[in-house]
Amino acid sequence: MNPWLIPLTYSVWTTAVLGVAIGFARRGGKDVQRHRLTELDLREHAFLSGGAARAADVSILRLLDTDALHVNRDGQVVAARPAAADGDGDATMRVLDREYGGLPLRELRTRVAASVEIQGIGTRLFEDGLIARPDAGPRRIPRWALFATIPLGLVAAVAGFLVTDEGASSGWPWLGLVLVVVGSQACVAALLLLGVFGERVVPTAPAMRRLMRLRRDDAAVAALAPGSLGAVALWGLDRYPDPVVKEIFRRSAPTAAEPAPSQWCGGTSCASPQGARAGSCGGTADGCGS
């Protein structure tokens, strides 16, 4: 057998699988409403960047910044004013109102992320073609191809040494080994992009380009919201300037629990504690979209 045949075949296969996988990774299954990209508000940017968990955190932090809520060092949140009947989103205030004005922060974050208002943001973004369901039908094909490519690379690497007459003294098997290492790492990266390891919100290509441009424009980030909330929406809790509040949020990360029904992905909840377990780092529940 020609010594170059195995590394060449593996390279062609890996390139083809990666190309198909990346193409599916940014396809939302809906026509993209491009005009919506310039109309997104703070919570929509947060959902797009980090899922329902981050959108919920931004909603809570906005109320903390305006002194509508207070949180103590033990993570207990209390409302400083009653919920408005039709106020700007006060899913947070309504949750607290049902609990007579107080709730542990961990529980509040979970409930707000699962609220109709926050889940409705995901519904609108999906319908407008700005996010893709992590496990939407055709994604299963490139996902399994990517999984198969990793052990296939190991087989190709071993076979390269076995079929070469010169064995380890030849350069071809070593070239094949390098290609296997690079190809396997690329497959793992593509699996992360597809949301296989811990399902997450996947922005479609136009939405991702919008986020990348926005993150490079400090003035545009500052214009999203007063203070640091724009940066929190795009990057997460690490950008919040108050170290005390930030530490309280980190200690009050939602814990794993049974997911609630989802409105926007048709399966398990994208706002479940599994998805919210990293707090503002975002994420959606395993199996979302199945």
* DSSP character string of 69-124: EEE-TT-EEEESSPPPSS-TTTHHHHHHHHTTTEEEHHHHHHHHHTSHHHHHHHHH
pLDDT confidence bin for 145, thresholds 50/70/90: confident
Q: What's the confidence (pLDDT) of residue 151? A: 78
pLDDT confidence bin for 208, thresholds 50/70/90: confident
- Residue 261's SS3 state is strand
Residues with Cβ within 8 Å of residue 144, at least 6 apart in sequence = none
pLDDT confidence bin for 267, thresholds 50/70/90: very low
What pLDDT, in 10s, does the model give residues 166-178? 555 566 667 777 7
Is the per-residue pLDDT at 247 higher than 70?
Answer: yes
Is the per-residue pLDDT at 278 higher than 60?
Answer: no
What pLDDT, in 10s, does the model give residues 170-199? 666 677 777 777 777 777 776 666 554 444
- Residue 260's SS3 state is coil
pLDDT confidence bin for 255, thresholds 50/70/90: low
- The larger pLDDT score, comparing residue 206 to residue 104, is at 104
What is the distance between the alpha carbons of residues 35 and 157, in angstroms, rounded to a whole number? 49
- Residue 60's SS3 state is helix
β-pairing, 102-104 with 76-79? Answer: antiparallel
Residue range 60-75: mean pLDDT, rounded: 91
pLDDT confidence bin for 239, thresholds 50/70/90: very high
- Residue 268's SS3 state is strand
Q: What's the confidence (pLDDT) of residue 186? A: 76
Strand partners, 78: 70, 102
CA 241 to chain centre: 23
- The larger pLDDT score, comparing residue 9 to residue 167, is at 9
Q: The whole model's pTM is what? A: 0.63
- Residue 243's SS3 state is helix
Nearest to 217 by CA among 209, 26, 65, 48: 209
Let me know: does 60 contact 112? Beta carbons within 8 Å: yes
Is the per-residue pLDDT at 16 higher than 70?
Answer: yes
What is the distance between the alpha carbons of residues 52 and 50, in angstroms, rounded to a whole number? 7
Let me know: does 129 contact 1? Beta carbons within 8 Å: no
Is the per-residue pLDDT at 15 higher than 50?
Answer: yes
| SS3 letters across 113-176 | HCCHHHHHHHHHHHHCCCEECCCCHHHHHHHHHHHHHHHHHHHHHHHHHHHCCCHHHCHHHHHH
pLDDT confidence bin for 265, thresholds 50/70/90: very low
Measured CA distances, 140 to 200, 204, 208 (Å): 15, 17, 22
- Sign for the pseudo-dihedral over CA of 68, 71, 75, 77: negative
Q: What's the confidence (pLDDT) of residue 58? A: 95
What is the distance between the alpha carbons of residues 275 and 102, in angstroms, rounded to a whole number? 24
Q: What's the confidence (pLDDT) of residue 202? A: 73
Residue range 47-67: mean pLDDT, rounded: 91
Q: What's the confidence (pLDDT) of residue 257? A: 43
Q: At what angle do helices 42-65 and 243-251 cross, to 10 degrees?
A: 110
